[in-house]
Amino acid sequence: EAQVTQNPRYLITVTGKKLTVTCSQNMNHEYMSWYRQDPGLGLRQIYYSMNVEVTDKGDVPEGYKVSRKEKRNFPLILESPSPNQTSLYFCASSLGFRNTEAFFGQGTRLTVV
Amino acid sequence: TQLLEQSPQFLSIQEGENLTVYCNSSSVFSSLQWYRQEPGEGPVLLVTVVTGGEVKKLKRLTFQFGDARKDSSLHITAAQPGDTGLYLCAASSGTALIFGKGTTLSVSS
């Protein structure tokens, strides 16, 4: 089954404690991205990757890091989480970035206290 | 950053009613997509419209791309409770896929 898998689904952590949210896709897609979804602000892109070892900033990259060492995996790293990073996070993958369907994971609900 | 503005932000209707939601921009897009998101899930693609003036139908849902490729609409005929969800429009902007803030639709029986 074609899918994007994120882990964990839910995470409560404390300010400053480094964390990683994993994302894996089994569709051999080149393009992957991370979004955060907040009430009233919609889905905002954090980082994206057009291929292995190629990543770039989206609209809200501050406080986040990503890596793309393999085609299927695109982890999101929060080196020092802060309460303003409490949000719902989605990973997505697609064949490209134009006119192609984006497949989303089920989301990670992160709370930073 | 190019913006996609969706209206209305919230819509609460009775089963059987018709409704239209809108997605507008000042920018021209090569294509526009509509996604639906249900609580606790990620967005799922409904349709991609590519040609100005294009109309696509998906059962009771009708999607239209504006002639100038700056706007789009989604019309639902005889809404059902199963149509409840967040409807998002999206478009490619450079190398990014940008989303509108969405229309939250609630259909009660």
Predicted confidence band of residue B2 (pLDDT cuts 50, 70, 90): low
Instruction: Give the residue on A whose Cα is nearest the Cα of B102.
Output: A42
**Rounded Cα–Cα distance for residues B89 and B87 (Å):** 7
In this prediction, residues A44-52 reach a mean pLDDT of 95
The per-residue pLDDT for B3 is: 87
Q: Tokens in use for B80?
A: 């059902």
Asked if the Cβ–Cβ distance from B95 to A33 is below 8 Å, we say no
- C-alpha distance from A77 to closest chain B C-alpha (Å): 20
Low-confidence winner among A5-14, B21-30, B92-101 (lowest mean pLDDT): B92-101
Q: Facing residues of A89 across strands? A: A36, A108
Cβ contacts (< 8 Å) between A48 and chain B: which residues? Answer: 95-96
Instruction: Give the residue on A whose Cα is nearest the Cα of B36.
Output: A104
**Rounded Cα–Cα distance for residues B38 and B28 (Å):** 29
- C-alpha distance from B43 to closest chain A C-alpha (Å): 6
Asked if the Cβ–Cβ distance from A45 to B97 is below 8 Å, we say yes
Kindly report, residue by residue over B39-88, the tens digit of the pLDDT.
889 999 999 999 999 999 999 999 999 999 999 999 999 999 999 999 99
Kindly report, residue by residue over A73-113, the tens digit of the pLDDT.
999 999 999 999 999 999 999 998 777 899 999 999 999 99
The per-residue pLDDT for B1 is: 53
The per-residue pLDDT for A10 is: 97
Asked if the Cβ–Cβ distance from B102 to A42 is below 8 Å, we say yes
Asked if the Cβ–Cβ distance from A42 to B92 is below 8 Å, we say no
The per-residue pLDDT for A96 is: 83
Residue with tokens 């969405």, as numbered in its chain: B102
Q: Which residues of A touch B (CB under 8 A)?
A: 4, 33, 35, 40-43, 45, 48, 50, 56, 58-59, 90, 92, 94, 97-99, 101-102, 104-107
**Average pLDDT of chain A?**
95
Q: Tokens in use for B15?
A: 């089963």
In this prediction, residues A13-25 reach a mean pLDDT of 98
**Rounded Cα–Cα distance for residues A102 and B7 (Å):** 23
Q: Which one of A40, A97, A107 has the shortest CB-CB distance to B97?
A: A97
Closest Cα to residue B72, out of B83, B59, B61?
Answer: B61
Asked if the Cβ–Cβ distance from A42 to B41 is below 8 Å, we say no
